[in-house]
Amino acid sequence: MSYTGPVPDPEAILQAWTPFRTILGVASVTTDDDHARALALIETLLDVVRDDEKHPLAEVLDYLSEQVQAYESKHIRIPEAEPGEVLRFLMDQHGLRQSDLADCAPQSRISDILAGKRGISKDIAKRLATRFHVNVGCFL
C-alpha cells in the first residue's frame, strides 16, 4: 500500500523541525544527558497533558516517551523482581518519594505495596507504567 497524499517539502520540514528541537533541547535520546532532559520534559508535559489523549501536546509526550523507552531498552536494565521491588528500584532511580506518586495512588497504598502488604492493581500498574515509561507487565 502506497501513500498517495501530499508530502511536505524537506525544506519546510527543516524550517519547522529546527526551532522545535531547539525549544525541547533534545530530539533523540542518545546520551545520559539527553535521557535526563527528556525525562524532565516528560514530567512537565505529564502535568499539563494528564490523561487527555487529545491534548495538542500529547503527541510530543508520546514522541519523547518513545525516545526514552528506546534509550532505556538499550542502556538501563530493570532486574527481574517482584512488582513492589521494581517500584522501589524505579523510585530510587528517579529520586522519588512515596508522596511523589500521588498521581498514581494514595501514599498509604504505595507504602503498603513497598512493604509487601498489598499487590498492585491493574489500574495502579497502568498509571505506574505510564509514569515510569515501562511496560505495565513490570508491575503485574
Model pTM score: 0.59
Query: Where does the pLDDT of residue 135 fall: very low under 50, low under 70, confident under 90, or very high at 90 and above?
Result: confident
Are 139 and 104 contained in the same domain? yes
How many residues are there in the chain? 140
Span 52-63, pLDDT tens digits? 889 999 999 999
Q: Which cell goes with 135?
A: 511496560
Q: Which domain holds residue 70?
A: 10-76
Q: Which cell goes with 112?
A: 503498603
Burial of 55 (0-12, 13-18, 19+ CB in 10 A): middle
Span 3-44, pLDDT tens digits? 999 999 999 999 999 999 999 999 999 999 999 999 999 989
Q: Which cell goes with 28?
A: 533523540
Question: Domain ends where: 27, 61, 76?
Answer: 76
Has residue 91 been placed in a domain? yes
Alpha carbon distances (Å) from 111 to 1, 32, 81 = 51, 30, 18
